[in-house]
Amino acid sequence: MGGQLKLFGEGLGCVRGERNVFSSLDFSVSSGEALAVTGRNGSGKSSLLRMIAGLLATAAGSIRLTGGKNGLTLAEQTHFLGHRDAVKPSLTVLENTAFWSDFLGDGGQTSPQAALDAVGLGDLAQLPAAFLSAGQRRRLAIARLVALKRPVWLLDEPTTTLDDTARTMVAALMSEHLRDGGLIVAATHQPLGIAARELRLGATT
């Protein structure tokens, strides 16, 4: 997946409305590492991931990636898996995955069908996504991480709605991503199923 990556956050501040969510926050995570962002609701876990993804402006501080692909921004080297699965119900399962591959594609891809096989949805490729259960929709969202190779995974409660078998599958995909030299920052209330350092946030009242 290229050279040694390192993702830094330095002196980060987050303000939502009138509330100071967190301030003076530092973190770092390198190739082959996972960082589990924990804390109670409202502590800023999702906001931190959205800042890294470039979806939310920082109130203070900076975020940077070193060792990435020249000419690409951090956002262009990042997969962000949020609470919403971004599934188009009118498209088939395969068409959803192909859409994301085409929309985000910049090389280094796995075929959409192979990505669905990896998340256990291969047999449902031609089914309209409207008929998927909540857990299946989550797996479909995860399939795009497999279909398009990007080194930085930002995962917001990645195993929500998943059963034990699917959680094990996601842990295996995360482990493979780390072995390939990627890095993961995951906001979670439950164990990821992989070795991870913890960054615990505390809500400010």
Tens of each residue's pLDDT in the chain, 205 residues: 556 999 999 999 999 888 899 999 999 999 999 999 999 988 999 999 999 999 999 999 999 999 998 889 999 999 999 988 889 999 999 999 999 888 887 655 789 999 999 999 999 999 999 999 999 999 999 999 999 999 999 999 999 999 999 999 999 999 999 999 999 999 998 889 999 999 999 844 3
The whole-number pLDDT of residue 1 equals 53
The whole-number pLDDT of residue 106 equals 62
The CATH number given to whatever domain includes residue 65 is 3.40.50.300
Q: At what angle do helices 134-147 and 164-179 cross, to 10 degrees?
A: 10
Any domain includes 143: yes
Any domain includes 30: yes
The whole-number pLDDT of residue 83 equals 86
Any domain includes 191: yes
Any domain includes 28: yes
Alpha helices in 79-133 (DSSP H): 93-104, 112-118
Any domain includes 1: no
Report the alpha-carbon distance of residue 6 to residue 17 in Å, rounded: 31
Report the alpha-carbon distance of residue 98 to residue 135 in Å, rounded: 20
Token pair 């949020």 is found at 82
Burial of 201 (0-12, 13-18, 19+ CB in 10 A): buried
Number of structural domains in the chain: 1
pTM: 0.92
Range of the domain at 68: 6-200
> How far lies 23's CA from each of 11, 12, 35, 199, in Å?
7, 6, 19, 14
The whole-number pLDDT of residue 131 equals 97
Any domain includes 146: yes
